[in-house]
Structure 1
Amino acid sequence: MTSSSPTESQAATQAPATEAAPAATRAARGRVVNTRPRGRVRAIQAAVVVIVLAAMGLSTEWRDADAPQTTSEAERTFDPAAYGQETFPKVVPLVEKEAQPITELVPALVADADAAGAKFGHREGTSPYSFAATAEGTAGAPNGSLLPLTVEGLPKDTQIWVQVGPAITGTSLRDATGTITFGQFLNQVQYADAGTALNNEVRSQVLKGVTPATLKGKKVTLTGTFTFLTPQVVTLTPVKFEVVP
């Protein structure tokens, strides 16, 4: 019977343990390798959440209730009808205060339009001058929305027309006093709407009850505005219109 030496027995006993150790080490290493990517994913996800929340905070606009309106809000809240009703009563006394007799304005414009404009009129930028004027004359037969007015003391080739509706056009009422400017509005659309709104007030307040077809041959006095384009044609927008009994 052959007996094994202590060294051989120890080697035989230790061999499985030695072989098992690398396997356990490899398994442990495998677990470490597998946990690292998951940790990085969680870190990346957390970072993304932080970035998204930060972006939301930057893009969110917090405004006080009394803060100035944004452009779109101002566009939505501009009410031409309300503007006309509020502004027309303020414009009328200014027109009456600045009004010059048409029999003096037209000759001055014929002599030197720029000088007369600078002295008696108002304009925005390089637009034509607008004026406030008074006139008295004899009405003719209406032509559409215009009433011809024969005024003594004017050049023979000058024709005076008075806007009597229903259509009231132009922006002389807006421009003649110099108190309403483009800078008071958000854009050109609102600026134009303001002029139209004032014209609408002329139709509803000044010309209410006026029947143009019945005015031929009657004496008329008025205060109004006009934009000067040519001395041959002057079209007045009235803020005061009276038929002399």
Structure 2
Amino acid sequence: MTQSSSTESPAATRAPTPGPARARTVSTRPSRKVRLIQAAVVVLVLAAMGLSTEWRSADAPATRAEAEQTFDPAAYGKETFPKVAPLIEQNAVPLTELVPALVADADAAGEKYGKREGTSPYSFPASAEGTGGELNGSMLSLTVEGLPANTQVWVQVGPAITGTSLRDATGTIKFGDFLNQVQYADAGTALNNEVRTTVLAGVQPATLKGKKIAVTGAFTFLTPEVVTLTPVKFEVAP
């Protein structure tokens, strides 16, 4: 008796050979969302560049240093003083009227008669007639009748003329007219220099005691007990 055996062919027992792997394609192109974000960033950067860019005309100074050098205090004083002085004369309030108003209500008097920049003290155009007294450095005391007994009046007669009363008393000269605080201060000094070389030219302070003097000028208010006038007009009776 012949025994039969079942024999599987090698092909039947061999594991199927996998076919070639299908290559996976990965796109390197940014998604629409990423592209939108990138575009927005570019727009923001360009906007920031525009805000930080200073556009100047062709004839504007190239640098801040050059801009500072364009301000000539002496030239400014010569050009501006002839404009400031008439305004002070036209609006001058007699001290016999102004000082009592300041004593009664300094804020109200300041709003009515004075000018100021921001919250700085008021400066006033004012006039006075009185008798020359003692010298105290560059200031001459002036006795003015009709003022409170405790009020002292001084007139700057040089050689040093200080303060910013002339610059501030008209309200026509603003801090924003200048590049910086230095130029603003220089403008006040330049106007004071014009007082010394024009208004007080020929005035001999040592000879003024006992003389009748008429003064028109400006002062910055600190207290009604002391008034220090910077003159734009100074007349001595013969």
TM-score range, shorter chain: 0.7 to 0.9
Q: Does 1:99 align with 2:92?
A: yes
Superposition map of 1:86-125 within 5 A: 86-125=79-118
Paired residue for 1:210, among 203, 218, 226?
203
- Give 1:69 shift: 5.5
User: Residues of 1 paired with 2:198 and 2:62: CA distance?
Assistant: 32
Q: Does 1:174 align with 2:167?
A: yes
Paired residue for 1:222, among 215, 222, 226?
215
Structure 1 residues 227 and 69: alpha-carbon distance in aligned structure 2, compared to 1, 3 A threshold: farther
List per-residue Cα deviations over 1:182-237 (Å, max 9, x = no partner). 00000000000000000000000000000000010000001000000001100000
User: Residues of 2 paired with 1:62 and 1:126: CA distance?
Assistant: 33
Aligned residues: percent identity? 80
Which of these two proteins has the greater Rg computed from alpha carbons? 1
What TM-score do the two structures reach when normalised by structure 1? Answer: 0.73
Query: Where in structure 1 are there 5+ consecutive unaligned residues?
Result: 1-60
Residue number in structure 1 paired with 2:182: 189
Residue number in structure 2 paired with 1:199: 192
User: Residues of 2 paired with 1:168 and 1:119: CA distance?
Assistant: 27
Size of the aligned set, in residue pairs, is: 185
List per-residue Cα deviations over 1:137-160 (Å, max 9, x = no partner). 000021110000000000000000
Residue number in structure 1 paired with 2:145: 152
Superposition map of 1:133-144 within 5 A: 133-144=126-137
What TM-score do the two structures reach when normalised by structure 2? Answer: 0.75
Query: Where in structure 2 are there 5+ consecutive unaligned residues?
Result: 1-53
User: Residues of 1 paired with 2:55 and 2:182: CA distance?
Assistant: 29
Residue number in structure 1 paired with 2:26: none
Structure 1 residues 63 and 147: alpha-carbon distance in aligned structure 2, compared to 1, 3 A threshold: closer
Superposition map of 1:80-91 within 5 A: 80-91=73-84
Q: Which amino acid aligns with 1:171?
A: T
User: Residues of 2 paired with 1:63 and 1:98: CA distance?
Assistant: 39
- Give 1:64 shift: 5.8
- Give 1:65 shift: 4.0
Task: Check the 8 A contact 2:73/2:187 in 1, yes or no.
Answer: yes
Q: Which amino acid aligns with 2:226?
A: V
Provide runs of 4+ in structure 1 moved above 3 Å.
61-65, 67-70
List per-residue Cα deviations over 1:160-199 (Å, max 9, x = no partner). 0000000000000000000001000000000000000000
Structure 1 residues 68 and 217: alpha-carbon distance in aligned structure 2, compared to 1, 3 A threshold: same
User: Residues of 1 paired with 2:116 and 2:67: CA distance?
Assistant: 26
Structure 1 residues 244 and 62: alpha-carbon distance in aligned structure 2, compared to 1, 3 A threshold: closer
User: Residues of 1 paired with 2:208 and 2:66: CA distance?
Assistant: 46
Q: Does 1:77 align with 2:70?
A: yes
> What SS does structure 2 have at the residue aligned with 1:210?
coil
Paired residue for 1:236, among 218, 226, 229?
229
> What SS does structure 2 have at the residue aligned with 1:142?
strand
Superposition map of 1:7-18 within 5 A: none
List per-residue Cα deviations over 1:21-74 (Å, max 9, x = no partner). xxxxxxxxxxxxxxxxxxxxxxxxxxxxxxxxxxxxxxxx99764346542221
> What SS does structure 2 have at the residue aligned with 1:141?
strand
Residue number in structure 2 paired with 1:49: none
